[in-house]
Structure 1
Amino acid sequence: METSDVIIIGAGFAGLTAARELSKGGHTTILLEARDRIAGRTHLDERLGRNLELGGTWVHWTQPYVWAEMGRYGIKAVPGPEFTKAYWTAGGHQHEGDAVSLLELLDAPNRRLLADSRRYFPMPWSPLDNPDVADIDGLTLSEAIDRLELPEDQRQLLRSFWTLNFNGRLDQAAYTQALRWCAVASGDWQLMFEACASFKIDGGTRRLAEAILADSAAQLRLNQHVASIEQDEAGVVVTTEGGKQYAARQLILALPLSVLNDLEIRPALSPRKREAAAKGQAGRGAKLWVKVQGRQERFVALGPEAGALNFVQAEYIDHDSTTLVCFGPDAGAVDVDDIDAAQRHLDSIVPGLKVLDVAGHDWVADEHARSTWPMHYTGYLTQYLAELQRPEGRIRLAGSDFANGWGGFIDGAIESGLDAAREVSGALALECQDTAAVSG
């Protein structure tokens, strides 16, 4: 049995950050990862003849944690493409114009929808400080949009826009999550949208993940599928499916919310934590890369909210082909390996393009994720977040699912990893003081 001060399960950005902080603080740390790679729900991989981000991608200067990490390692941000053309579907008809026109159509409805973001979240990184949030946490984003009583074309466009942001269904999406996103972007919806899709990490997400790992003294163990966790007054013991055991004084579970109940934990996590894990997150959609024939104009397109793909943008333009990144609200409606299906989906949004190849990863079917980026259901904020952040004996949770600020982003994962590491370091120090007092 390997022993250490701390075990961290999950080598996404939360786990990597926590492992670096604790190991550099002098605590022996073992980092266990079920996959054969690090970086969690981000995944830079060579597909369609170039390196593509199959999962999380975007960063922004309004996101303090990831921006600081990039600065720490001298990694720059790379601006995304600026679009000149736009397509959108409203009232059953396809429309075409410039990208500015599409943003103008979304501007007034979004301003109305998000007008109360700073009222409810005046301190965005303390989302539970305002008790009035409980009054609206049961409201779905679908209901909030319908309350605006917009003209039908605007209503459809706004719903498609937010279906993209949630990567899931609006009748399950929490209005509070939309308000939180806007609040952390200073209450400006256009700044929020810029943060969602404007800057990438130079060298990709893998470069930043590897930089954090290289700066850590933690021992990484890949291909370690954890089966059970048992804690008592003496410590924590982790057993893998292969029978390997690890023991420590403290443990951080840096896993997506939706997979927590897959682990046998003794004593069991609190009923409220298990209930939250059973519900999971609303981000259960698809991300698909599509290579099409010809050098296309730099375009962005919003389709119907219920379409298999409801968003497409031209990401990479080469001499004789263009690579598009596409999103849809239901992973089950998109086969990431089916070229013919991709052609049908694309025809419904941007006709006239010929699909050459496709690539993607089904994060909802992935046993280590079971969700895309974390987007909350109604009630999550006020019913579950505080409980999920509460330590349970020697076990703490970490990840973008549990962040106070930019939940759903790399930034939120790093924030949560730092918080968990600080709390674990304090718990270890307290144990040492208690041991010294007894010995003395």
Structure 2
Amino acid sequence: MPEETDVVVVGGGVAGLITARELGRKGLRVTVLEARDRLGGRVWTDHRLGRDLEIGGTWLHWVQPHAWAEVNRYGLEVTRGPRPEEAYWLAGDEVRTGTLDGFMELIDPGMRRLLEGTMHHIPRPDKPLSNPELASVDGFSVQDKLDELDLPVEEYRANEAAWVGHFNAPLGDGAFTSALRWTAATTGSWHLMHEASAVFRLASGTKSLVEAIVADTDAEIRTSTEVSRIEHDTDGAVVTTTGGERISARRVVLTLPQNLLGDLDVSPGLCAEKKAATAEGTASKGVKVWIRVRGPIKPFFAYSSASHPLSVVRTEFLGDDDAVLVSFGADASRISPHDRDAVAEALRVWRDDLEVLEVTGHDWMADPHSRETWLMQKPNQLTRYFAAQQRAEGVLHFAGSDYANVWAGFIDGAIESGHRVARDITTTLT
């Protein structure tokens, strides 16, 4: 006979842990099943290159209400990397140098024009589908809309590289509405959106948030436990693991990201929209690379273009005799985060005076438990699939940053979705 519990949560990332914590507070028995040998999912603090590095999700901000509530709940300290003193970008094949303020002034006209209709298209970011006319722009990519602006080459390349950094994807794959969603979350301000998505981080790493949530829940948490099959009916579900364990539950919460969810063995099967979203995949397929270089150096940032293997790089840690940079590229298949020579060559598009000592990262696209980085949707996915992705199917509920309303793809979105699903379940079980 299967063991029994009230709720099984599949996935021990932030969304799953928040769900478990909130359900436990209502007196429900919760079992969390995590396939990896660690908790956190796509947030992962690991000690490499002499520092505690964020291998996955990193940044948060006080305009992200759910994440900031957790920061205050647990008294977590927030910090940031060093402010850049130098900036590098491309004008065609020519490298330009300047300051952070100068670069922001360069991209400001293009950003404003690209995003000027944000609050018309998405007047309520907490209800991203509230505008019935949204489908009229959901079919466009960011590349489509950027090309319409007919910017001078220097402005175009700078704007292009900035969006590649945000999307972690080729811009022809990324939906224009994904850019609108991020900017709507900051009431149309691209400056604030840029800051909220790429500056502030937890001083003790995202592991401090994960550890705090785990310590605050009485759920039974099992790592290295992968789910192989879920059978469900109107009364409950039986979850079977690859190890042969069978757990009977009144409700099941699935926190798998979009690129995995539709492939899970579920009987009866998931709806057509969830399966189609998985089959299409998200736009994001990029790479995050950590780079240790010989120091001392001045803190800097640099943008290249979508055609380069690394489009964005900036200083995140400074030491007496070294520095650690974080960088992003649009396509993980073009550069390995473990290939020091290739990374050193990629940096030379801006400067040839940096001695690369070590590099590291994680191939999230090849990771069988993610197969994506952070959520950036493809054209038409928001209006075709999003409502169905959030929708419960009988006793099955769906949480995860990919299915958040406001800050989808962020830690804040994972927390938001965990609260939403926990609330939905407690209204029927307690």
TM-score bracket relative to the smaller structure: over 0.9
1:258 CA displacement: 0.7
Tell me the secondary structure at the aligned position of residue 22 of structure 1. helix
Tell whether the 8 Å contact from 2:365 to 2:371 is kept in structure 1 after alignment.
yes
Residue 427 of structure 1 aligns to which amino acid in structure 2? Answer: T
> Does the 8 Å CA contact 1:80/1:197 hold for their aligned counterparts?
no
Displacement after TM superposition at 1:306 (Å): 1.7
Instruction: Note if contact 1:400-1:407 (Cα within 8 Å) is conserved in structure 2.
Output: yes
1:391-412 Cα distance to aligned partner (Å, 9 max, x none) = 1111111111111000110000
Which residue does 1:223 correspond to in 2?
Answer: 224
Match of 2:200 in 1: 199
Paired AA for residue 248 in structure 2? A
Say if 1:181 and 1:373 are closer, same or farther in 2 by CA, change over 3 A.
Answer: same
In 2, Cα distance between the equivalents of 1:140 and 1:96? 30
Report 1:138-177 matches (<5 A). Answer: 138-177=139-178
Alignment correspondent of 2:264: 263
- Post-superposition Cα deviations, 1:232-272, rounded to whole Å, max 9, x if no partner, equal 23311111111111110000001111111332110000111
Residue 262 of structure 1: SS of its match in structure 2?
coil
Distance in 1, Cα, partners of 2:161 & 2:137: 22
Letter in 2 for 1:114: L
Q: Against the structure 1 CA distance between its residues 350 and 408, is the aligned structure 2 distance closer, same or farther, given a 3 Å change threshold?
A: farther
Using the TM superposition, give the Cα deviation of residue 54 of structure 1 relative to its aligned residue in structure 2, in angstroms.
Answer: 0.5
Q: In the TM superposition, what whole-angstrom CA distance separates every residue of 1:40-83 from its partner, at most 9, and x where no partner exists?
A: 10110010111100010000000000000111111121133211
1:148-180 CA-partner distances (Å, limit 9, x unpaired): 121122112111110110000111111011011
- Which residue of structure 2 aligns with residue 8 of structure 1? 9
- Which residue of the partner structure matches residue 83 of structure 1? 84
Matched, 1:298 2:307: no
2:275 equivalent to 1:285: no
Q: Report SS of the residue matched to 1:333.
A: coil
Residue aligned with 1:95, SS = strand
1:420 aligns to what SS in structure 2? helix
Between the aligned partners of 1:369 and 1:349, the Cα distance in structure 2 is: 32
Equivalent pair of 1:173/1:378 in contact (CA under 8 Å): yes
SS at match of 1:331: coil
| Kept after mapping to 2: 8 A contact 1:87/1:95 | yes
**Equivalents in 2 of 1:360, 1:350: separation in Å?**
22
- Distance in structure 2 (CA, Å) of the matches to 1:392 and 1:80: 43
How far apart, CA to CA, are the structure 2 residues paired with 1:261 and 1:180?
A: 24
User: Partner residue of 2:130?
Assistant: 129
Kindly provide the amino acid, as one letter, of the partner of residue 200 in structure 2. F
Deviation at 1:350, TM superposition (A): 2.8
Amino acid at match of 2:351: V
Matches within 5 A, 1:19-98: 19-98=20-99
| Residue pair 1:287, 1:361 contacting (<8 A) in 2 also | yes
CA distance in 2, matches of 1:233, 1:150: 56
Q: Distance in 1 between matches of 2:294 and 2:396?
A: 51
Which amino acid in 2 is paired with 1:337? H
Once the two structures are superposed, residues 351-397 of structure 1 have per-residue CA deviations (whole angstroms, 9 ceiling, x without a partner) of 22111001111101000010101111111111000011111111111
**C-alpha distance in 1, partners of 2:90/2:261?**
39
Do the aligned residues in 1 keep the contact of 2:235 with 2:395 (CA within 8 Å)?
Answer: no
The match for 1:116 is 117
State the alpha-carbon separation in 1 of the partners of residues 51 and 22 from structure 2. 33
Aligned to 1:433: none
| Structure 1 match to 2:405 | 404
2:382 counterpart residue number: 381
**Structure 1 residue aligned with 2:424:** 423
Quick one: which amino acid aligns to residue 369 of structure 1?
S
Tell me how far apart the structure 2 counterparts of residues 36 and 343 of structure 1 sit (CA, whole Å).
Answer: 32
CA distance in 1, matches of 2:231, 2:405: 28
Residue 90 of structure 1, CA deviation: 2.2
The whole-number CA distance in structure 1 between the counterparts of 2:291 and 2:372 is 21
1: CA distance, partners of 2:179 / 2:352: 31
SS in 1 for 2:107: helix
**TM-score where L is the length of structure 2:** 0.98
Aligned to 1:237: 238
Q: Secondary structure at the match of 1:31?
A: strand
Contact between 2:60 and 2:201, CA under 8 Å: does it hold in 1? yes
Equivalents in 2 of 1:41, 1:142: separation in Å? Answer: 27
The runs of 5 or more residues in structure 1 that have no matched partner are 430-440
- Report 1:238-387 matches (<5 A): 238-387=239-388
Distance in 2 separating the partners of 1:9 and 1:31: 6
Q: Distance in 1 between matches of 2:352 and 2:313?
A: 12
String of CA shifts for 1:259-312, please: whole Å, max 9, x gaps: 113321100001111001111211110000011112111100001212111111
Q: CA RMSD, aligned part only?
A: 1.0
Shift of 1:188: 0.5
* Cα distance in 2 for residues equivalent to 1:83 and 1:341: 24
Which residue identity does 1:418 align to in structure 2? H
- What TM-score results when the alignment is normalised by the length of structure 1? 0.96
Are 1:90 and 1:304, in contact at CA under 8 Å, matched by a contact in 2? no
CA–CA separation in structure 1 for the residues paired with 2:354 and 2:367: 30
- Which residue of 1 is the match for residue 415 of structure 2? 414
Q: Which amino acid aligns with 1:252?
A: V
CA distance in 2, matches of 1:298, 1:404: 35
Q: Report the 3-state secondary structure (helix = DSSP H, G, I; strand = E; otherwise coil) of the residue aligned with 1:126.
A: coil
Q: Which amino acid aligns with 1:4?
A: T
- Cα pair 2:255 2:398 within 8 Å, conserved: yes
Compute the displacement of 1:209 (Å): 1.0
Name the stretch that deviates more: 245-254 or 89-98: 89-98
Q: Does the CA-based 8 Å contact 1:310-1:349 persist in structure 2?
A: no
Q: Report how far residue 417 of structure 1 moved.
A: 0.7
Native 8 Å contact 1:14 1:417 kept in 2: yes
CA contact (8 A) 1:231 1:394 kept: yes
Q: Which amino acid aligns with 2:22?
A: E
Letter of the structure 1 residue corresponding to residue 305 of structure 2: P
